[in-house]
Structure 1
């Protein structure tokens, strides 16, 4: 049995443009700490192989402290490490890869053509290649086939399965099935794919181990894998210091502050969130900017960073008279259709019109 660690898309030294400069710098420091957690996983599992499948760096510009942290972590890893540069950090003369003193057990792939590295002590062989420019129209597996006898064959590549016309190393299921590999470790896709299979070849993308924005939400991490008897099993290991989340807090039948407080008691304060209030609100109370400001302050005081939006709706009971052959019924039917067709940012104003219109039709006091 062979065990391996599969990671990709660390994007070290990402700019974190959406955060204030001090928070962005803190997030980059936390990315460097991610390297330590990566090494700890490898050491605790006593892996035989480590695959870093591209976009280790976010760009060609890398801070000295990042290179120092990377060097220290790689030195501590005892297993052979294989690194395939990706589209964000292609291998060039100007890239940090060409200037970095890699430890002897780290193998850096430097050419678009797949390279073969034999590991007779493990009964294994590893193939890999590199991006040498930000785009790569020819797929890394085009025309590739591993012809191994009595050795477990691994691949370490950066590539994209989404389209055969991708500019980022297109890969097809047919090429994977024809590769002759036991396991194909891939990078580029930032969401964990789970174990996949084409023909006899298992493959996966672990996703990025640390989210950088709300397009990379939820748990992020790496894969611990085992290969035995031609079968591959993968275990997802969360590593993210902070998660980007978009939770919803249902306030139906509750005071919004109490509902939010109850939610905070179950949440991780380290996370970065965009909260949305949902559900049915009190029909006699207008959403108040002061209330939303206070709720936002409550959330911001708990999380690393938080914002809050109101997506609540009027109670369904308010629409119960739509079917009436009355002026009220006609009004409700007309407004319901307008709300359904309106852009999301215009719906709160239309719902407010419904509440005030019903009050006028029924001779009641205006809503608060």
Structure 2
């Protein structure tokens, strides 16, 4: 049985432009700590292999301490490590992949053509390819077929399954025809879970830590086990992130004030996470003071922003006199058989539908 740690899309040295200069520098330092947690996990799980499927580096600016941390951590892993460069950290003669002295256990794929490395002691072959430019409109899997030689064939690639763009589009039919036991992919920042095309299992681990509010929740890597039989493949998601990005919705309807509603929603203890709080529902007259509310919430999060999507409270029936479809609807509803809460709820859902809204609390 093989145990594999599969990671991708670390995007080390990302700019973190939405944070302060000091916080951005701290976040980049924290990204390097992800590498230590990766190495620790590989040792804890006694991994036979580590497959890193591209975009380890963000590509805009790479700091020397990051390169040193990457080489040190990967070299501390007591197993072969394979890197398939992606569109952000594509391989060139001037890239850090070519210009750095890497530990002996690290192999970096450097060509768009698929290369195979045999590991006789593990009874497997690890295949892989690299982006050599920021874009690639052809799948490296096209036409590939692993030999039926009794070995376990694996591959690390950066690409977009069923994608139509220029980031290594991979046809699921090519995965099914590849003859691979497991295809370790990178590029998609959400964990896909274990997938299958034909007899080939494949997965995206997602990024190991979010960098913005499009990458919320737990992030990490996959611990993959491969048995002797073709169908014996499992993948366990292992969280790795030190901080998370979270979006919280706070409904102010019925609260004495927006401030009261926000106070009630804040955590009991300070959180290490970055949070976006979206205020919704009905409020009394006057727009919320977002600067004051942000100052109230700031001590509870590493970083916090607020967005106001509230509406001023209005009487449910004050538009019944309008010469409009809305007015006609409300007048007709009031003459019907519904009463009390049923009548009010019917009016709210009806107004939401008429005005193309999703929230019935109008």
**Do these two structures clear the TM 0.5 threshold for a shared fold by scoring above it?**
yes
For 1:325 and 1:127, the matched residues in 2 are separated by 70
Query: Which whole-Å deviations, capped at 9, do the CAs of 1:7-30 have from their partners, x for residues lacking one?
Result: 001111111122222111111111
User: 1:169 maps to which residue?
Assistant: 168
SS at match of 1:246: strand
For 1:207 and 1:266, the matched residues in 2 are separated by 30
User: 1:247 maps to which residue?
Assistant: 248
For 1:166 and 1:203, the matched residues in 2 are separated by 20
Cα displacement (A) at 1:107: 1.0
Maintained 8 Å contact 1:273/1:307: yes
User: 1:182 maps to which residue?
Assistant: 181
Which has the higher mean CA deviation after the structures are superposed, 210-219 or 3-12?
210-219
Cα displacement (A) at 1:254: 2.9
Maintained 8 Å contact 2:3/2:47: yes
Cα displacement (A) at 1:322: 4.8
- Where does structure 1 lack aligned partners over 5 or more consecutive residues? 343-350, 352-368
For 2:82 and 2:269, the matched residues in 1 are separated by 37
Residue of 323, 340, 357 corresponding to 2:355: 340
For 1:181 and 1:266, the matched residues in 2 are separated by 49
Cα displacement (A) at 1:219: 1.6
User: 2:211 maps to which residue?
Assistant: 212
Which has the higher mean CA deviation after the structures are superposed, 207-216 or 72-81?
207-216
SS at match of 2:170: coil
Q: Check 1:268–1:47 CA distance in 2 against 1; reply closer, same or farther (3 A cut).
A: farther
Matched, 1:236 2:234: no
Q: How do 1:157-306 residues align onto structure 2 when only pairs under 5 Å count?
A: 157-163=157-163, 165-228=164-227, 229-230=229-230, 231-255=232-256, 256-265=258-267, 269-281=271-283, 285-290=284-289, 292-306=290-304
Maintained 8 Å contact 2:223/2:235: yes
Cα displacement (A) at 1:147: 1.1
TM-score, with length taken from structure 1: 0.84
User: 2:316 maps to which residue?
Assistant: 319
Of Structure 1 and Structure 2, which has the larger fraction of its residues in helix? 1
- Where does structure 2 lack aligned partners over 5 or more consecutive residues? 331-350
Cα displacement (A) at 1:101: 1.0
Cα displacement (A) at 1:60: 6.5
SS at match of 1:94: coil
Cα displacement (A) at 1:49: 0.8
Query: Which whole-Å deviations, capped at 9, do the CAs of 1:90-117 have from their partners, x for residues lacking one?
Result: 1101100011111111111111111111
TM-score, with length taken from structure 2: 0.85
The alignment's C-alpha RMSD in Å is 2.8
Q: Check 1:127–1:326 CA distance in 2 against 1; reply closer, same or farther (3 A cut).
A: closer
Matched, 1:139 2:139: yes
Where has structure 1 moved over 4 Å in runs of 4 or more?
Answer: 321-327
For 1:341 and 1:225, the matched residues in 2 are separated by 46
Maintained 8 Å contact 1:160/1:171: yes
Which has the higher mean CA deviation after the structures are superposed, 40-49 or 248-257?
248-257
Maintained 8 Å contact 2:285/2:312: no
